Amino acid sequence: MKLEDIGEFGLIGRIRTLFTQPSPKAPIGIGDDAAALFLSSAAVLLATTDMLIEGVHFDLATTDLYSLGWKSAAVNLSDIAAMGGVPRYCLVGLGLPRRTTMEQVRELYRGLHALLRKHAVLLVGGDTCRSGRGLVISVVMLGEARKRSITARSGARSGDLVFTTGTLGDAAAGFELLAAGGRARKRGARKLVERHLRPEPRVEWGGKLAASGCVSAMIDVSDGLASDLGHICEESRVGAEVHEGLLPLSRALVSTQGLKQAPLAYALSGGEDYELLFTVPPRKAAALRRLNIPFTEIGTIIRRRSLLLVDHAGRRRRLTAAGYDHFGKRDRLQGRRR
Ligand code: ADP
Ligand code: MG
């Protein structure tokens, strides 16, 4: 059996069923943004790890080392945010080709440290190895949460409303501009590129949303709306309807000329926005709206286990999860089939 036949999530599903078992001390393990590990009757340790690999996640021709360091912290902080936790400690594993210079490592750590400092996260360890190929950065992020306010992927129920913070599709459009080469001159285009290179993890919003008690399920948008809403639906055993006219698009995305696809396509399938996607029972929507967070209602959870996109005329079509799959046929950096 080849990995390209079962895909990244097929592989993770097999690892999950073959080698792990649910435990009352680790009620949330594989299958969520971070594992939730019980330390005492109320305190929970959140643990997550994400890796960035040269040639797969980034290309040094289009990314500076500072941004790379920033992003490697951001993607992990975002997973703690999605659980409604507070990030506390971080460990950094590096695989470095021999050609790497001290200046490059310093820039990487400057970027990483800038974002860690912003969120008061301490860098407490890691590992350093030579890499035979490209640069590899593997970050472990540890956070803290209260048992009662953890926001797992599995809590969505039929009838819940679906919300996202911020705007969707910007980072994917920014990546396309970067990969096409040339400098992004217009302000809007620069903004899109910035969102790809230096995403802002929604840590404060995640904490506030969890503490409000309004949220039934939450995930961060790392693979794209369709794919990540699909994860909520799968873990919660439900489906969802998303209204295309409700998707929040930035002015930068709508106004930038020369993009290959329509703004909606980036919003549905583009990844790496690191916004928070969450569900709320209707009776809690009024309390939610009193929180001072920029979010938009985009759809509803349904009993039927499928993902549907509703267009302006009310027609429904199946929304396919076109997010990135590491063993799929689409190459992340080139965007073409391999
Ligand atoms: P995210 O996009 O939020 O970082 P992933 O899609 O990377 O999440 O992973 C989905 C889930 O599978 C997570 O709970 C993660 O911890 C788990 N997971 C991923 N790879 C492995 C692996 N090789 N072994 C065990 N668990 C894994
Ligand atoms: Mg995540």
| Ligand 1 neighbourhood includes 222 CB (under 6 angstroms) | yes
Q: Which atom of ligand 1 sits closest to the CA of residue 75?
A: 4
Question: What percent of the chain has a predicted confidence (pLDDT) above 90?
Answer: 85
- pLDDT tens sequence across 219-249: 999 999 999 999 999 999 999 999 999 999 9
pLDDT value at 42 more than 70: yes
Res. 338 pLDDT band, cuts 50 70 90: very low
| Ligand 1 neighbourhood includes 12 CB (under 6 angstroms) | yes
Choice from 12, 15, 218, 231 to test ligand 1 binding pocket (greatest atom count within 8 A of CB) = 12
- Residue 116: per-residue pLDDT: 98
**58: Cβ–Cβ under 8 A, 6 or more apart, which residues?**
52, 68, 71, 333
- pLDDT tens sequence across 160-183: 999 999 999 999 999 999 998 877
Which region among 167-181, 186-200, 259-273, 314-328 has the lowest average model confidence (pLDDT)?
314-328
CA angle 200, 56, 20 (to 5 degrees): 80
10 Å Cβ neighbour count for 294?
12
Mean pLDDT, range 43-55, rounded to an integer: 96
Q: What is the C-alpha to C-alpha distance for residues 30 and 36, in angstroms, rounded to an integer? A: 10
The closest ligand to the CA of 277 turns out to be 2
Question: What percent of the chain has a predicted confidence (pLDDT) above 70?
Answer: 96
Give 257 Cα–ligand 2 centroid separation in angstroms. Answer: 30
- pLDDT tens sequence across 7-23: 988 999 999 999 888 78
Give 30 Cα–ligand 1 centroid separation in angstroms. Answer: 6
Residue nearest to atom 16 of ligand 1 (CA): 30
Mean pLDDT, range 286-303, rounded to an integer: 97
pLDDT value at 78 more than 50: yes
Q: Is 59 exposed, middle or buried (0-12, 13-18, 19+ CB in 10 A)?
A: middle
| Ligand 1 neighbourhood includes 170 CB (under 6 angstroms) | no
| Ligand 1 neighbourhood includes 234 CB (under 6 angstroms) | no
| Ligand 1 neighbourhood includes 30 CB (under 6 angstroms) | yes
Give me the amino acid identity at 3.
L
pLDDT value at 189 more than 50: yes
pLDDT value at 327 more than 90: no
Q: What is the C-alpha to C-alpha distance for residues 255 and 98, in angstroms, rounded to an integer? A: 43
pLDDT value at 331 more than 60: no
Res. 311 pLDDT band, cuts 50 70 90: very high
- The residue with greater pLDDT, 25 or 232, is 232
Mean pLDDT, range 81-110, rounded to an integer: 98
Mean pLDDT, range 287-291, rounded to an integer: 96
Q: What is the 3-state secondary structure (H, E, C) of the chain?
A: CCHHHHHHHHHHHHHHHHHCCCECCECECCCCCCEEEECCCCEEEEEEEEEEEECCCECCCCCCHHHHHHHHHHHHHHHHHHCCCEEEEEEEEEEECCCCCHHHHHHHHHHHHHHHHHCCCEEEEEEEEECCCCCEEEEEEEEEEEHHHCCCHHHCCCCCEEEEECCCCHHHHHHHHHHCCCCCCCHHHHHHHHHHHCCCCCHHHHHHHHHHCCCCEEEECCCCHHHHHHHHHHHHCCEEEEEHHHCCCCHHHHHCCCCCCCHHHHHHHCCCCCCEEEEECHHHHHHHHCCCCCEEEEEEEECCCCEEEECCCCCEEECCCCCCCCCCCECCCCCCEC
pLDDT value at 316 more than 90: yes
* CA-based nearest residue to 247, from 268, 231, 272: 268
- Residue 334: per-residue pLDDT: 52
CA angle 84, 92, 18 (to 5 degrees): 70
What global pTM score does this model have?
0.94
Q: What is the C-alpha to C-alpha distance for residues 225 and 153, in angstroms, rounded to an integer? A: 14
Q: What is the mean pLDDT of the chain?
A: 93
Residues in the chain: 338
Q: What is the C-alpha to C-alpha distance for residues 7 and 18, in angstroms, rounded to an integer? A: 17
- Residue 336: per-residue pLDDT: 37
| Radius of gyration over every alpha carbon of the chain, rounded to an integer in angstroms | 19
The closest ligand to the CA of 28 turns out to be 1
* CA-based nearest residue to 73, from 139, 149, 158: 139
